[in-house]
């Protein structure tokens, strides 16, 4: 199942969102390994095959989760 990885970058007002085909556990393991190890770069590959590289020292926060399904229509939320 595909997941969204949201990365907050220090000194940047916007977050980086990577939609990847990896499982939530695999994406979480990559992020955790980069943040706790000697890695200087977090490397993720999105669902189109584009590799995204983020310097670890610039990461403010990371969220790994299932993307929200888009709602279509004029229904009211209850």
User: Which pLDDT tens digit goes with each residue over 28-75?
Assistant: 999 999 999 888 999 999 999 999 999 999 999 999 987 666 656 676
What domains sit in the chain, N to C, each tagged with a CATH number? 3-65 (2.30.30)
Q: Which residues pair with 9 in a beta bridge?
A: 59
Q: What are the tens digits of pLDDT across the range 7-36?
A: 999 999 999 999 999 999 999 999 999 999
**Which spans in 1-78 are helix H?**
24-36
Q: How many CB atoms lie within 10 A of CB 7?
A: 21
Distance CA 70, CA 49 (A): 23
- Read off the tokens for 12: 């940047």
Higher pLDDT, 1 or 3: 3
DSSP for residue 14: S
Distance CA 14, CA 3 (A): 19
């Amino acid at each position: 199942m595909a997941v969204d990885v949201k990365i907050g970058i220090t000194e940047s007002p916007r977050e980086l969102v990577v939609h990847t085909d990896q499982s939530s556990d695999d994406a979480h393991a990559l992020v955790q390994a980069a943040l706790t190890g000697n890695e200087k770069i977090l490397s993720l590959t999105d669902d189109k095959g584009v590799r995204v590289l983020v310097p670890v020292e610039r990461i403010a926060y990371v969220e790994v989760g299932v993307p929200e399904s888009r709602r279509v229509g004029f229904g009211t939320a209850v």
